[in-house]
Amino acid sequence: MIKEFRINVSEEQISNIYNKVKNYPWQSIEDMEGWIHGTNKKYLKEICKYWISEFDWKKHEELINSFSNFKTNIEGIDIHFIKEEGSGKNPKPLLLMHGWPGSIVEFLEIIKPLAHPEEFGGNIEDAFTVIAPSLPGFGFSDAPKNPMGPRKIANIMNKLMSENLNYKQYFAQGGDWGATIANWLGYDHHENCIAMHINCLTMRHPDGPETNEEKKWLNDFDNDQIIQDGYRTQQATKPQTLSYAMVDSPVGIAAWIIEKLHGWSDLKNNDIESAHSKDTLLANIMVYVLTNTFNTAAWIYFGRREEGGRYFPNDFKKINIPTGIAMFPKEMSAWPPKSYIEKIFNVKQISKMDEGGHFPALEKPRLLIEDIRKFFKNL
């Protein structure tokens, strides 16, 4: 069963959040210069002041509700999704998946151009019917009873598309966890997911790197990740402990998320607002705070560790569905050499962008839209 869904956050709930932000004990936090130690205090205070004085959640709630929102039950979990019917006679179904610390907020500016290209200077023949879910445990979807990794989530997503929505064949697109889930859709559910477009690679071939170029890539990646692994290790091993600190602290959640939007985006002069406005940052943060999903959204890291981590199984066979890849220069997870990529995927298109980072739907939506259209059009 598929039910219509609308977001309707009470003013009391919003006021309660704002009071916590207003009363945050800033005097207990040291003044540290820059971002090298983590989220910059000066900027966090600035955005929190904006949060309680100028930010209007109801405006963003109205924007989300302007799309057709639904919920449907899959394996006992109520999954939220936006569905935008595409223009024309035969729009192609496209599953659009976010990652962490993202949400459906990432896609609000690209859903309509993908579904109605003729309204944005494109051709109606390139239209998609866009399905953009909140992943299990994220945002407006329910959480599973226990941590669930990307392979199991891929099974949920495939049931959403092929059973509950009755799309026997569809396309998938994603970055971050969305890309990982798309990988598993192509591996386990290739009879339904017939092509994918990704802008991030998190998985690894079980044989590891073989050429000198591949070995250098992995060594450089591992060295780079030394200072990035803190959040990932915590969320993959003891997410429950972190949740006690965050459950009653909107400012803590904001700091945790903003650090990643700052560190993983293509910034000018180290200015986070050269890539993301305060309103966009806060709308995404509010999805976590309002739905109390900071904890359960982190479960996907624990779930992946239980599923075997970054590496595909030892009996891995190449994912043969057509795959398009968009490489953005400030992607936090550096892409391997083409030789390594082609051991995993049936690569049909690689686009190397001149700008953009880990969140292209927010940072460079036009580039991402054009690359998605180009790839699926040429199949």
The residue annotated as part of the active site, out of 126, 142, 176, 371, is 176
Q: Is 364 helix (H, G, I), strand (E, B) or coil?
A: coil
Specify the length of the chain in residues: 379
**Among 114, 167, 200, residue whose Cα is nearest residue 373:** 114
Distance of CA 350 to the CA centre of its chain: 20
d(CA 274, CA 126): 31
Other C-beta atoms lying within 10 Å of the C-beta of residue 368 = 27
Phi, psi angle pair for 262, to nearest 5°: -75, -45
Q: Is 74 helix (H, G, I), strand (E, B) or coil?
A: strand
Runs of H (alpha helix) within 160-277: 177-188, 212-225, 229-237, 239-246, 250-263
- Give catalytic status of residue 358 as yes or no: yes
Distance of CA 351 to the CA centre of its chain: 20
The residue annotated as part of the active site, out of 80, 98, 189, 358, is 358
Helix H or strand E segment including 302:
helix 294-307
The residue annotated as part of the active site, out of 116, 301, 340, 371, is 301
- Give catalytic status of residue 176 as yes or no: yes
d(CA 72, CA 246): 29
Q: CB under 8 Å to 241, separation ≥6 — which residues?
A: 234
Tell me the β-bridge partners of 84.
130
DSSP annotation of 271: B
Long-range pairs for 203-206 at CB < 8 Å and ≥24 separation?
203/310, 203/311, 203/312, 203/344, 204/310, 204/311, 204/312, 205/311, 205/312, 205/316, 205/340, 205/343, 205/344, 206/311, 206/312, 206/313, 206/314, 206/316
- Give catalytic status of residue 311 as yes or no: no
Q: Which residues are catalytic?
A: 176, 301, 358
